[in-house]
Structure 1
Amino acid sequence: MTRSSALAGGGLPSVAAGAAVGGWTAVGALPSPRQWPSSEESAVLLDDGTALAAGGAVVRGIGTGECLLFDPGSRTWQPTGGMQQPRLLHSLTKLEDGKVLAVGGMVQTDSLPFTYLATAELYDPARKTWTPAGKLATPRALHTATLLPGGKVLVAGGIGDQTPGVRRNLRSAEVYDPDSRTWTVAEPMTDARSDHIAVRLTDGRVLLVGGNAGADLYLHVRQSFCELYDPVTGTWAPTGSLRMPRSGHQATPLGDGTVLVTGGFPLTMRRARMFSAHSLWQTELYNPGSGLWTPSGSMPAGRSSHRALLLRSGRVLVLGGTDSATEDVGYAAATVYDPRTRTWTPAAGLTTGRSYCSATLLGDGTVLAAGGTVRSGMADPGYARDLLTETSELFTE
């Protein structure tokens, strides 16, 4: 870590002593390498215990409609009904009736013109088929989709065309009603954002955390502003801001109702593949009662584009990712956070280092990590294309 990031962080990493936590076991591979750049795309656990992976990119920036089911019994992936529209940078949300809602996204991200999708689809696990689920009022990608109390889904922010050919981060929000399969325009957010994280709090409100506030294709400005959506009144309200602006981060609800934020790109702006400053190691804890963020124990190292999940034990597993200085490799390192002591303990490393992967907590308490980016940028001999992986593995605490 650099001296500048240490000075900005306000503290050194707090790492608990002891043996590494848990272990990883390789399981059946995906049919082909692929990545899921947004954590909203991660595979969804179905009621029968299988995990549904839908869409993503089989080559960097090229979306697919292929869908797969992971069977924890056989530890293998099997094909299931494909989506009607190839997409990446979309969202997957399991509904109360067990179906899965796929929303928005893009067909491809590697060449102009960009097309943002307004379509939505429903996956029926019984029939293993997708059917149309209405259309968004505003096409979008890199948004969030959150299941609300009562079964509706809040879709917020993202990127889209505010005017033809002019990409902008979006303030708009919409609510999906699964009973009528219709969309209703909601009150717009206080601030436009994409690549943010949404967390449903224990009282049913939705917390939006950080994200990008930049206004064009190549320039990204991280933001610290956070806001709350109240599903009862249908309104947004500002809440406490992050101490450090970030995107490419994760926000994980803890057992006591607080929210842990880890990693991410810092405030500095980037153009194309040029980065400045390292990914954040400093973590923050949100208290819904006070609406304030406070520093929490720092991770052993900074990372972005990682995944973080709450384990059955109440601890948080952070896995994979990369660093904002180069974004050229997928990390194999993993670490576990204990909310009781606010300390981090090294976890067993992934068998394959990866960022932009899918990560899902399965019914038996294990964590499934699949696909992702192994190398990118100058670490990839081809440079023009990311090196993706088809490997999958399970973490047992």
Structure 2
Amino acid sequence: MPVHREGKELMRLPADPLRLRPFPSNRYPAAENAAVAAISGSWAPTTGTLPVAGFWAEPNDTAVMSADGAILLAGGEDGRRNPLALSARFDPASSTWTATARQLNTARRLHTLTRLADGKVLVAGGITGPVTVPARGTNTAEIFDPANGGGWTTVASMNEPRFSHSATLLADGSVLVAGGCSARSGDSNRALRSTEIYNPAANTWTVAEPMNDIRLGHPAIRLANNKILVVGGVITIGRGQYAALGYCEMYDPKTGPDTGTWSTTASLAAPRKGHQATLLKDGSVLVTGGDIPTSSYSSTIQPYSQETCERFQLNGDGVGGWRADTAMPWGLSQHRAVLLPTSGKVLVIGGTDSGVFDTGYTDTILYTPGANGAAGTWAISATMTVGRWAAAVAALPGDKVLVAGGVVRSGPAAPTLGEDLLTTTAEVYTP
């Protein structure tokens, strides 16, 4: 593999020339035309577009289905990383977007969006101001009630400000918020291991047992046994320095929501951030992709995302373990992975394959799990009309999938210096 040296930096250039193509909409060589022609599924633009362009950089703050079947999208960030007060709903029947009667009370990004047991939606935390060093989170929270005129109501605040955390609905209807990031000092941030639980009936937050390790930007999955699995993420290792995390752990709420316990479980083979974790029909968890495992200050630059995949399965002792699964056709990060509940397949959407996140991909690929827990297979699926990463997604009835917004081009690929090119477009996948 060719190596380029410049000063102390070392860059390993890819042996695959296809990876050097600047735009992903034309990634298939002529030899693959026959395979591409056999692609299943299709994408169609929605009738309307989002009220404003936005993107959602964490795995926990995309779109959710509210009680009446409409898809709710809230918050996010614009091309200059300013938080949005956006609140819009998508009607699958008419394929149209409508702004809610009232926007968020507080504009926010890197927040969480969680559907509650009664169909209401909880928004918690995030960053509410412009880009600063250090980034400063909020402890505020709001609830959307589609039966209450489509508005947002401010509820009790968390005990600790945080952003890039996870928020997971527990079996008893409460919500577990875990980890995230907050300001450490006047010029640095720190990752958190603290957790707290929201009780919607009492409108209270209760401090819970902290995780064993700090982390932010991590997926959190509720397993069939109602334990919560947190997978990888990011740790802070110095001022402005971050690294991917392979360490995983589980929360067991069996003794009550405010006295649950955290325990270690098997670690990922590869540290991951910017990855996705998807609960499969058999109860296992598929992890896909992720971006560079080292910080931006590392002396070694790995400019491409991971194509490797891993699968978590609970063991008889309840601890569980990871094993390698079939790799994706190419590396991805900041993509989205959605379970198609009827077929049991997983649709992986868009994303990017660059350490600096230049261009969103139009590509989608389809994962089919192997029988009896065996490794799955990947197939190329239909391409979107607009390439995007960090988009909002939601599963629709009939194994359809909605994707909205996202980053089209950023960094040196963006047409305006210092501002990412975003999209207001949305599309629906039909298998």
Note the C-alpha offset of 1:73.
1.6
For 2:263 and 2:155, the matched residues in 1 are separated by 29
8 Å CA contact 1:219–1:269 kept in 2: the answer is yes
Residue 109 of structure 1, CA deviation: 5.3
Q: Tell me, yes or no, if the aligned pair for 2:133 and 2:187 is still in contact at 8 Å.
A: no
Distance in 2 (CA, whole Å) between partners of 1:69 and 1:58 is 18
Q: Give the stretch that moved more between structures: 100-109 or 200-209.
A: 100-109
2:323 maps to a residue whose letter is: T
Specify the alignment match of 1:303 in structure 2: 332
Map of 2:306 onto structure 1: 280
Instruction: Tell me which of 102, 105, 110 is aligned to 1:84.
Output: 105
Contact 2:134 2:183 in 1 (8 A): no
Query: 3-state SS of the aligned residue for 1:60?
Result: coil
Alpha-carbon distance change, 5 to 20 in structure 1, aligned in 2, over 3 angstroms: farther
TM-score between both structures, scaled by the size of structure 2: 0.86
The corresponding residue for 2:24 is none
Instruction: Please state how far the C-alpha of 1:6 moved relative to its aligned partner.
Output: 9.1
Deviates more, 1:179-188 or 1:129-138: 129-138
In the alignment, structure 1 residue 264 sits paired with structure 2 residue 293: no
Share of identical aligned residues, percent? 43
Match of 2:424 among 363, 371, 390: 390
Query: 1:330 maps to what in 2?
Result: 360
- The answer as to whether partners of 2:67 and 2:120 remain within 8 angstroms in 1 is no
Answer yes or no: is the 8 Å Cα contact 1:376–1:383 preserved in 2. Answer: no
Instruction: Give 1:275 shift.
Output: 5.2
Shift in CA distance, 50/2, structure 1 to aligned 2, threshold 3 Å: farther
Give distance in 2, aligned partners of 1:72 and 1:271.
45
Deviation per residue, 1:145-180 (Å, 9 max, x gap):
000011000000011124565410001000000110
Q: Does 1:40 align with 2:60?
A: yes
1:295-335: CA deviations, max 9, x gaps? 00100000100100100210000011112333100111110
Give me the TM-score of the superposition, normalised by structure 1.
Answer: 0.93
Contact 1:244-1:266 at 8 Å conserved across structures? no
Q: What secondary structure does 1:378 align onto? A: helix
Alpha-carbon RMSD? 2.2
The C-alpha deviation readout for 1:80-126, integer Å capped at 9, x for no partner, is 02111110100000000111000000024533453211001111110
Matches within 5 A, 1:105-124: 105-108=126-129, 110-112=131-133, 114-124=135-145
Give the counterpart letter for 2:112 in structure 1. Answer: S
2:174 aligned with 1:152: yes
Distance in 1 separating the partners of 2:232 and 2:127 = 22
Equivalent position SS for 1:110:
coil
Moved more, 105-114 or 225-234: 105-114
Q: Which moved more, 1:188-197 or 1:112-121?
A: 112-121
Structure 1 residues 266 and 396, CA gap change in structure 2 (3 angstroms): same
Structure 1's 60 and 194: CA in aligned 2 closer, same or farther, altered over 3 A? same
SS of 1:229's equivalent in the other structure is strand
Instruction: Please state how far the C-alpha of 1:54 moved relative to its aligned partner.
Output: 0.6
Q: How far apart are the structure 1 equivalents of 2:13 and 2:229? A: 27
Structure 1, unaligned runs of 5 or more: 8-14
> Could you tell me whether the CA contact under 8 Å between 1:99 and 1:124 is conserved in 2?
yes
* Structure of higher CA gyration radius: 2
Using CA pairs below 8 Å that are at least 6 residues apart, which structure has the higher relative contact order? 1
Report the 3-state secondary structure (helix = DSSP H, G, I; strand = E; otherwise coil) of the residue aligned with 2:399.
coil
SS across alignment from 1:107? coil
1:57 aligned counterpart, secondary structure: coil
Which residue of the partner structure matches residue 11 of structure 1?
none
CA distance in 2, matches of 1:309, 1:216: 34
Among 272, 280, 303, the alignment partner of 1:254 is: 280
Aligned to 1:57: 77
Aligned length: 388
Q: 1:314 aligns with which of 306, 331, 344?
A: 344
